[in-house]
Copies of this chain bind each other. A is one copy, B any other.
Amino acid sequence: MEKNYSNYDLDNLDVQILSILMEDASIPYTEIAKKLIVSGGTIHVRMKKMEELGIIRGSNLIINPQKVGFDITAFLGIYLEKGSQYSDAVEQLRQVKEVVELHYCTGQYSMFAKIICKDTSHLRKVLNEDIQGLKGIQRTETIISLEESIKRQITL
């Protein structure tokens, strides 16, 4: 399905289509077509091309975590005992459902995670029981987000 172009040149039309749908994926093709003064069929062809190229990963329904009782976002700097334990640690952290992002990174931490929990006691449980005990993890540093002021995708 996904063709092997590492970097495809998007033209202006592609970028404008993506920009619109990145903000709201439910906007109909026909409406985009009107706005960009092309036919609906063209939007469809472009989208199909970009899907095949792997530029489009899919679409997500975005929910408000706070409304469903998930109130705490935290970042976790993770120190591994040895760098070689990285892939092991990834697999273990993948089992922890509260981990929504995990990065292998430069700087003081070996890995860096973003986790979302229901409340402080849930966070404590995840840190103490689910993460601190994992094989290869030496220690962690926690940064708690009190407010998410900006949340968006890149501007093309």
Contact = CB atoms under 8 A, between A and B. Distances in A.
A46 to B, nearest CB: 13
B53 A67 contact: yes
A71 to B, nearest CB: 10
Interface in A37-85: 53-65, 67-70, 73, 75
A21 B61 contact: yes
A144 B108 CA distance: 11
A125 interface: no
A43 B106 CA distance: 45
Complex copy number for this chain: 2
Given A55-B68, A102-B148, A109-B143, 9 more contacts: A24-B60, A59-B60, A75-B105, A103-B147, A103-B148, A104-B145, A104-B147, A105-B144, A108-B143
B63 A104 contact: no
Contact of A143 (B67, B107, B150): B107
A65 to B, nearest CB: 6
Contacts of A149: 90, 94, 102-104
Interface of A: 6-8, 10, 18, 21-26, 53-65, 67-70, 73, 75, 90, 93-94, 97-109, 112-113, 116, 141-156
B10 A68 contact: yes
A25 B61 contact: yes
Given A7-B67, A112-B145, A94 B58 contact: no
B61 A18 contact: yes
A64 B55 CA distance: 5
